[in-house]
Structures are given as C-alpha cells and as structure tokens.
C-alpha cells in the first residue's frame, strides 16, 4: 500500500464494494489485488492502454488513475461484460473475427470498444480507429480488432451479421489468380480504411478443402475475450516472496566489491544473490536445441558487467517495496572500463575486449570481439561478377528493435508438493528452461517441472532464459515461492532485442537474371552471443536464397559490443538480410530501366529448384539439401498488385513535389518455420469413451 490508508466505496461491475486503499495506490494495482485480472499491465506508465477500464462509462487508463479518485464511481471491467455465461456481443465479435491472438491486450480493447459503442451505436471506420487507437496490440494488429468493433456494432443494432466468410475462388485450368473476380472495393484507394475479408484462392490442381481456408474460432478465444487469468503474469502463490534485480548503470565495468550486509539485515529480506554466493557455471541463455551452439559466455552473476542493465544482484523479500528498498542498500564498487557500442569499432585492434575472461570457450577472436566468423559459397562468384552485364553494390543498415511483447517477462517458482521445483514462467521454450537452469541452480532436471501457460506475446524474446535461473535460485535458497518480473524499462535494458545489422550486397546481373550475389552481414550481438551464430546463418540462407543466384557468397561477422544483448526476433535475421536484397534489387531495376515487379518475379526461387546454400548454411550447423516444392508466390503477386492498385499508384506518385510525398514499393520475402533435421512435429489421436 502506498500513501495513507483510505477507505473508498465504489461500484465494480454493478456490485458495491468498500475497500481500503493507499492514497497513492493506482486503480490498476488495486483492481488486480482484488483479482480483477482482466485488467492487464503492459507498461505502468500510461503508454500502452491495455489497462483500460470504464469509470462512469468513460475509458481511463487504470495505471494512471488513483484508486481514491474513483470513490463513489462506477467501474467496469471485462469480467462484468458477460452475463450468466453468455458472451457480450463485443466479446463474440472479437472471437469471430480473430481479434484476439495472444489476447493480452484484448480486455483493454474490448473496454475501449464498449465505451465507443455505448455512446455511438453506428460508428464510422474512422471513428472506430480513433476510439481504439489508444490501446496497443503487438500481435493481432488492428484490422481484425477494428473489424470486430464494426461487427459488434451491427450485432448490437440487431442486424444479422451472419457467419464471417472469406472470399473464396476456385480457379480453373485456364485461369490465374489475376482472373479472380475480386469486388471493386478490394482495390485500396487512397484513404480507404475499411477492413476487408481474407481472400482464399484455390488453384485447379488442389481439391476443395473442408476446413482449410474457412474461418475457425480459436479453441482458446473464449477465455481470452472473457479476460480470464491465463498468463504467468496473473499467477500469484500464497505466501510468495517478491524478487527484484539490481542492474548495472555502466556499459562496461568490473565489480571490485559488493556489500550486501545492510540489505540482508533488513527485516523481511530473505535472500540476496551476487557473484560472491552463486556458483560460476558457464551457460548460454538462448533457448536452442542441444547441442547448444557456443559460446557459453554467461554466468548467473559475474564480477564484470558488460552493458547497462546487466545483472549485479537479486533480492527476495516479503513485498515488492521491501525488495526495492533492499536493492538501494546494496553498495557496489565499480571500476568503469572503456566501452564500445559500435560493432565496426569493436572489431578494430585496441578496442576494449568485452569477454576477456578465461573461462569462455568458443569465441572466434575474443581480442577483436568477433564471436563468429562465417563463410559459405556456391558456384564461382568472382567469375560470375566478371562476366555480368551490370554489377551493383550497396550498404544498408537495420537498427535494433525491441519485441515489446505486452506481457513482460515474469517467472514464479516454488517447491511443489512432490518436492519438485515448479517454474511457472512466460516462456516460448519450456524444455530448454529446464535443461539450462538445472546445472545453474544445482537441481536435477528430473526434479524441475516447467509450466508454460499462455504467453502474452514473445516474438523470440521469450526464446531465452531471462529470469528463470535467478527466480529458481531464490526459491532454492529460501524454500519459498518467489515471483520475479521485469518492468517495461527493464525489458529494454536487460532483456533482448533484434540484431542491428550492417548489410552489404554486391549483385551481378546478366540478361535480366541475377547470376552472382555476395552478402557481407555484420551483426551486433551486444554483450552476449546466445543467438549470434544462428541468427547470422539464417539471415544468410534466407537472404540469399530468395533469389538463389547460382553463384552466391556469404560472409558474416557477429560482434560483441557493450549494447544490451540481442536474441531471437521475428524473422530471425532473415528480415534484415532480405530488406537489403529487396532494396538493392529495386535500385538495380531502376538503374537498368526494368519493371521492378517483373525483374524480381523473373529472379525469384521457383518450384523445383534446389536452395543452393541450404546445406552450407543450416541453423548453427551444417544444414540439409532442400528444394522448393510448393509455392503460391505467383498468385500472391497477382493479387497484391491488383488490390494495392500498384501500377496506378506508382504512376500517380511519380511526379510529386513538396516536403511530404507518398510512395509505393514492392517487396517479397521468404520465411521458414522449424529447423530442417532438428525440429519435430507429431500428432496423437485419442478415442474417448464417449465416442
Ligand atoms: S497504459 Fe496502463 S499499463 Fe500501459
Ligand atoms: S493480441 Fe494484442 S498484444 Fe497480443
């Protein structure tokens, strides 16, 4: 409780309540303390909007609203929407349109929609967009959710919405996707914002399907639109301790000494962890299939910090406030070291050496901060460049991006009734969590049970062991349940992000065909290199395979800097590499006076072709021969060109003046899910006794 205890009376979802709250307590935390778990926390700073509730019918950010300020008022949360098990039409519409993917933002969106439709039963698309714009979403996006609001409005007005149907076309032998009779409003005129239904085109050689291509309500959509407490973030265990992390204010420093005596003496503090009292066991935090690629360049706590936000100490205490107070009592004596945050400078002789410890193995060139150097080649690249009609070189840069999954990293650990350590965590890699933390905490893997509930977004950042080892160690040391979570700020400083890349391409063209391609791909892996090898290799493979030049060369360096570490991120390196290739192909088309679409289409990997670099660039190891066996890229191109009105807009935008101008571009991409020869899939069919 923060501030003076104050009694307030209010109405929650129609039910009168009298609560004692602190004068500075925010409504978000008070509601969650009273188990209104539909009210989510994404930032606690008023930015994301997913904590939206209605106060006297108006949407407010509950993290920015003091609980004492709603005394005497009526508060509505998603828990109050459904009646007697019947969903509210807004909840139905979110299910039907697929408006809830991870679902963490969904209750906030539903409350924003309710506020709009209560005051405006027939909103325009623009009004829906405006009303919903304050609630961020990182996975569904906004088309389906805005569609849900319009559909809910029709339901509430008593109109027949009917089942949601995609546009389906079955092509004959004589037709191509370009012939599919799309309605005229499928052409996206400038300013047309109306959500459109999905299009499903079935080529002539494919039989009509019973299920694929038809809308299906997600099996778990109901619990999401009801705002049920299905995430690790919603997990509280009776009597649990709250952990907090002390992190480095320095980009690069040695810890000369650390004094935790005052923190340990604070009543209510049960454990303090530092490099002095945890074993020095090397590991890599990336959740990757064993044998895990090196280097094992991390320990739970080190006497050196390598980025702002690096771990220094952890405490477990009776309350979050006490844990924070204990952190402030820890005295750390740092020796600041020179730091380097630019990967090109980090590779130069004389740059600060970030991993100078002797017990990390597997770094390619520690003195130059190069974690990995990769080379792969097919054909005779130099000869092909020499024989090309035209050779173009260019360099591009992709910045660091954070995943910003709306549910932060959160882990709760406790000893289960069968003396197994339960790790309840927001992760994408539960089996890797168990394997990786077992040696760090000194518990046999068989005695560790990892539970991965639904996660509120991960996008690769939860393919990493971020909090689990520390939280589990605190439970081992105290015997108590412990909860550890990151703040939004810590997500940026201390979790992971995408690799910023320097992307240098050289492409040779002969008779309109790409005959030679060379990619130098420099990745800044930050302070640790858990995904450095694999992200770079995938970037090279996917980047160069889209156009699959017969003579291709890939050279890559992954480099340590004193930036926060990087990891798995949507696309896993392919996005960065393909971005560069798409731009250089457009530049070549312009230079040669070619139609960019046809130039790219002419060069795309075709069905039946082997992917030439597949064997040389596996994921962290030698790969497998692969070939493209099916593809609908031609159909996608045809439809994409039509619905975007590509050529008409390109012509219209060509002769603009003024500071602000519009443009339209064309890009293709390839993406892979799963790792050849490594990942497995299986299905089990079970007949129940009820038939
Ligand atoms: S705006 Fe309240 S939690 Fe983000
Ligand atoms: S569904 Fe919106 S954040 Fe995941």
Q: Residues 629-678: pLDDT tens digits? A: 988 898 889 888 988 889 999 999 988 999 999 999 999 998 877 777 77
**pLDDT above 90 for 47:** yes
As given in the structure block, the two tokens for residue 122 are 């027939």
- Cα–Cα distance measured from residue 180 to residue 173, given in angstroms and rounded to the nearest whole number: 13
What pLDDT is stored for residue 677 in this prediction? 77
| Distance (Å) from CA 42 to ligand 1 centroid | 5
Sheet holding 501-510, edge to edge: 370-378, 551-560, 513-526, 501-510, 390-398
Q: Residues 231-279: pLDDT tens digits? A: 999 999 999 999 999 999 999 999 999 999 999 999 999 999 999 999 9
Which ligand does the CA of 39 lie closest to?
1
**ipTM of the prediction:** 0.99
What pLDDT is stored for residue 169 in this prediction? 86
- Cα–Cα distance measured from residue 122 to residue 116, given in angstroms and rounded to the nearest whole number: 9
* Mean pLDDT of all residues belonging to the chain: 94
Q: How many residues does the chain have?
A: 691
What pLDDT is stored for residue 212 in this prediction? 82
428 φ, ψ (degrees, to nearest 5): -95, -10
| Distance (Å) from CA 420 to ligand 2 centroid | 33
| Distance (Å) from CA 60 to ligand 1 centroid | 10
CATH fold group of domain 233-337+404-494: Aldehyde Oxidoreductase; domain 3 (3.90.1170)
What pLDDT is stored for residue 80 in this prediction? 96
Which of 31, 37, 50, 66 most suits a substitution to test ligand 1, by most atoms within 8 Å of the C-beta? 50
- Cα–Cα distance measured from residue 94 to residue 82, given in angstroms and rounded to the nearest whole number: 13
Task: List the single range of 324-333, 431-440, 655-664 with lowest mean pLDDT.
Answer: 655-664
- Average pLDDT on 548-572 reads 96
Report the atom number in ligand 2 closest to the C-alpha of 100: 1
**pLDDT above 90 for 127:** yes
Question: Is residue 587 helix, strand or coil?
Answer: helix
Q: Where are the alpha helices (DSSP H) in 398-531?
A: 430-441, 468-478, 488-494
- Average pLDDT on 618-625 reads 87
Percent of the chain's residues with pLDDT above 70: 100
Which residue's entry shows tokens 């339209």? 664
Q: Residues 6-31: pLDDT tens digits? A: 999 999 999 999 999 999 999 999 99
| Distance (Å) from CA 28 to ligand 1 centroid | 9
Q: Is 575 in the pocket of ligand 1 (CB under 6 A)?
A: no
| Distance (Å) from CA 669 to ligand 1 centroid | 34
5-80 CATH, one of 3.40.1180.10, 3.40.640.10, 2.30.110.10, 3.10.20.30: 3.10.20.30
Q: Residues 369-398: pLDDT tens digits? A: 999 999 999 999 999 999 999 999 999 999
Domain ranges of the chain: 5-80, 89-163+219-225, 233-337+404-494, 366-401+497-631
What pLDDT is stored for residue 600 in this prediction? 97
Q: Is 611 in the pocket of ligand 1 (CB under 6 A)?
A: no
Q: How confident is the model at residue 350 (pLDDT cuts 50, 70, 90)?
A: very high
Q: Domain 366-401+497-631: which CATH class?
A: alpha beta
The CATH code of the domain at 89-163+219-225 is 1.10.150.120
């Amino acid at each position: 409780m923060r501030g003076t205890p104050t009694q307030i009376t209010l109405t929650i979802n129609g039910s009168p309540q009298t609560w004692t709250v602190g004068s500075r307590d925010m409504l978000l935390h008070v509601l969650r303390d009273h188990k209104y778990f539909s009210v989510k926390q994404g930032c606690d700073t008023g930015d994301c909007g997913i904590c939206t509730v209605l106060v006297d019918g108006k949407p407010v950010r509950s993290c920015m609203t003091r609980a004492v300020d709603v005394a005497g008022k009526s508060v509505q949360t998603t828990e109050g929407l459904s009646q007697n098990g019947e969903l509210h039409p807004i909840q139905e519409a979110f299910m039907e349109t697929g408006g809830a993917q991870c679902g963490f933002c969904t209750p906030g969106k539903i409350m924003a929609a309710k506020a709009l439709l209560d005051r405006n039963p027939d909103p325009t698309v623009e009004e829906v967009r405006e009303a919903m714009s304050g609630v961020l979403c990182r996975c569904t996006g906004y088309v389906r959710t805005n569609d849900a609001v319009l559909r809910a409005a029709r339901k509430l007005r008593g109109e027949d919405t009917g089942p949601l149907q995609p546009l389906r076309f079955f092509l004959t032998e004589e037709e191509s996707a370009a012939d599919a009779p799309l309605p005229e409003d499928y052409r996206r005129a400038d300013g047309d914002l109306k959500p459109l239904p999905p299009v499903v085109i079935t080529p002539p050689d494919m039989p009509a399907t019973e299920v694929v291509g038809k809308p299906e309500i997600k099996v778990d959509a109901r619990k999401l639109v009801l705002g049920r407490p299905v995430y690790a973030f919603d997990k509280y265990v009776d009597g649990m301790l709250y952990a907090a992390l002390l992190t480095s204010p320095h980009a690069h420093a040695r810890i000369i000494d650390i004094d935790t005596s005052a923190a340990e003496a604070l009543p209510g503090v049960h454990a303090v962890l530092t490099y002095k009292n945890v074993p020095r066991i090397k590991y890599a935090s990336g959740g990757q299939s064993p044998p895990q690629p090196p280097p094992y360049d991390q320990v739970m706590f080190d006497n050196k910090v390598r980025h702002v936000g690096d771990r220094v100490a952890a405490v477990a205490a009776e309350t979050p406030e006490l844990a924070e107070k204990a952190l402030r009592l820890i005295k750390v004596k740092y020796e600041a070291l020179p730091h380097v945050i630019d990967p090109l400078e980090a590779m130069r002789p004389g740059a600060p050496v970030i991993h100078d410890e002797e017990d990390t193995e597997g770094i390619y060139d520690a003195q130059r901060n190069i974690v990995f150097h990769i080379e792969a080649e097919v054909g005779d690249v130099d000869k092909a460049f020499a024989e090309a009609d035209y050779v173009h070189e260019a360099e591009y840069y992709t910045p660091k991006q954070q995943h910003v999954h709306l549910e932060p990293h959160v882990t709760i650990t406790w000893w289960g009734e069968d003396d197994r350590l339960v790790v309840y965590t927001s992760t994408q890699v539960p089996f890797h969590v168990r394997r990786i933390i077992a040696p760090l905490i000194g518990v046999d893997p068989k005695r560790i049970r990892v539970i991965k509930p639904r996660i509120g977004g991960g996008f690769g950042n939860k393919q990493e062991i971020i909090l689990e080892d520390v939280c589990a160690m605190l439970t081992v040391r105290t015997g108590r349940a412990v909860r550890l979570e990151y703040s939004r700020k810590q997500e940026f400083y201390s979790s992971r992000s995408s690799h910023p890349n320097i992307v240098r391409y050289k492409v040779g063209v002969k008779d309109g065909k790409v005959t030679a391609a060379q990619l130098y791909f420099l990745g800044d892996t930050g302070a640790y290199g858990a995904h450095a090898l694999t992200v770079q290799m995938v970037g090279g493979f996917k980047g160069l395979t889209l156009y699959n030049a017969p003579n291709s060369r890939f050279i890559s360096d992954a480099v340590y800097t004193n930036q926060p570490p990087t990891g798995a991120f949507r696309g896993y390196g392919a996005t960065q590499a393909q971005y560069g290739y798409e731009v250089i192909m457009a530049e070549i088309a312009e230079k040669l006076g070619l139609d960019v679409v046809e130039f790219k289409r002419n060069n795309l990997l075709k069905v039946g072709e082997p992917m030439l670099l597949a064997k040389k660039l596996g994921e962290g190891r030698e790969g497998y021969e692969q070939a493209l066996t099916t593809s609908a890229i031609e159909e996608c191109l045809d439809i994409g060109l039509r619905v975007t009105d590509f050529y008409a807009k390109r012509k219209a935008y060509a002769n603009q003046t003024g500071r602000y101008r519009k443009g339209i571009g064309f890009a293709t991409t390839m993406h892979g899910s799963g790792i050849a020869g490594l990942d497995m899939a299986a299905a089990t069919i079970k007949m129940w006794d009820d038939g």
